[in-house]
Amino acid sequence: MEKEFNLFVCCMLKMNERIVVSSPGKLILAGEHAVVYGKRALVTSIGLRLYMEFIEDTNKPTKTIEIDFQDTNRKYSIDIDCLTDSNPIEVQAICFIYKHFQMNNHIQLNIRSDIPIGAGLGSSAAFSVCLVGCFYLRTNTQMDRNEINQLAYQVECLFHGTPSGIDNTISTYGQSLVYSRQMRTHTDFRLKNLAIIDTGIPKSTKRMVELVRSFVDNNQQQAELVLNDIEKCVDTLIEQPDKIKDIFQQNQKLLKQLGVSNVEIDEITEKLHEHHLAGKIIGAGGSGCLIALVDSLTKQQLVDLFKENRIKEVYFVECGVEGLRQEEKFR
pLDDT digits (tens, 9 = 90+) for 2-35: 444 344 434 443 446 899 999 999 998 999 999 9
Distance of alpha carbon 103 from alpha carbon 12, whole angstroms: 17
Distance of alpha carbon 145 from alpha carbon 176, whole angstroms: 16
Domain that holds residue 137: 2-187+320-326
Q: Are residues 18 and 135 in the same domain?
A: yes
Under 8 Å CB-to-CB from 106, ≥6 apart: which residues? 56, 57, 58, 59, 60, 61, 62, 63, 64, 65, 66
What are the C-alpha distances in Å from 217 to residues 35, 37, 210, 213? 16, 12, 10, 6
- Quick: pLDDT tens for 61-70: 788 999 999 9
Under 8 Å CB-to-CB from 303, ≥6 apart: which residues? 311, 314
**What ranges in the chain are assigned the alpha helix state H?**
2-15, 89-100, 123-139, 145-160, 166-173, 205-218, 220-239, 244-258, 263-274, 299-305
pLDDT of residue 203: 74
Q: Are residues 225 and 291 in the same domain?
A: yes
Task: Please report, for the domain that includes residue 50, its CATH number.
Answer: 3.30.230.10
Parallel, antiparallel or unpaired: strands 64-69 and 74-79: antiparallel
pLDDT of residue 48: 94
Q: Are residues 147 and 222 in the same domain?
A: no
pLDDT of residue 16: 64
Residue 159 counted as domain residue = yes
Q: Are residues 310 and 163 in the same domain?
A: no
Strand partners of residue 41: 179
Element counts in the chain: helices (H) and strands (E): 10, 12
How many CA atoms within 13 Å lie on the side-chain side of 81? 6
pLDDT of residue 75: 96
Considering its fold, how many domains does the chain have in total?
A: 2
Distance of alpha carbon 236 from alpha carbon 41, whole angstroms: 11
Q: Are residues 139 and 226 in the same domain?
A: no
DSSP 116: P
Compute the chain's Rg from CA coordinates. Answer: 22
Residues 113 and 172 sit within 8 Å (Cβ to Cβ): no
Q: Is 99 left (phi over 0), alpha (psi -120 to 50) or beta?
A: alpha
Residue 331 counted as domain residue = no
**What is the sign, positive or negative, of the torsion defined by CA atoms of 260, 209, 258, 272?**
positive
Q: Are residues 176 and 258 in the same domain?
A: no
Q: Are residues 29 and 77 in the same domain?
A: yes
Q: Are residues 79 and 98 in the same domain?
A: yes
Parallel, antiparallel or unpaired: strands 74-79 and 184-187: unpaired
Q: Are residues 31 and 179 in the same domain?
A: yes
Q: Are residues 12 and 36 in the same domain?
A: yes
Residue 157 counted as domain residue = yes
Spans in the chain with pLDDT lower than 70: 1-16
Q: Are residues 80 and 46 in the same domain?
A: yes
**AA identity, residue 270:** E
Distance of alpha carbon 294 from alpha carbon 232, whole angstroms: 24
Under 8 Å CB-to-CB from 217, ≥6 apart: which residues? none
DSSP 224: H
Buried b (16+ CB within 10 A) or exposed e, 175-213: bbbbbbeeebeeeebebeebbbbbbbbebebeebbebbb
Rounded (10°) CA dihedral 271, 189, 160, 64? -120
Cβ atoms within 10 Å of 70's Cβ, excluding its own: 15
Task: Please report, for the domain that includes residue 279, its CATH number.
Answer: 3.30.70.890
Distance of alpha carbon 316 from alpha carbon 51, whole angstroms: 20
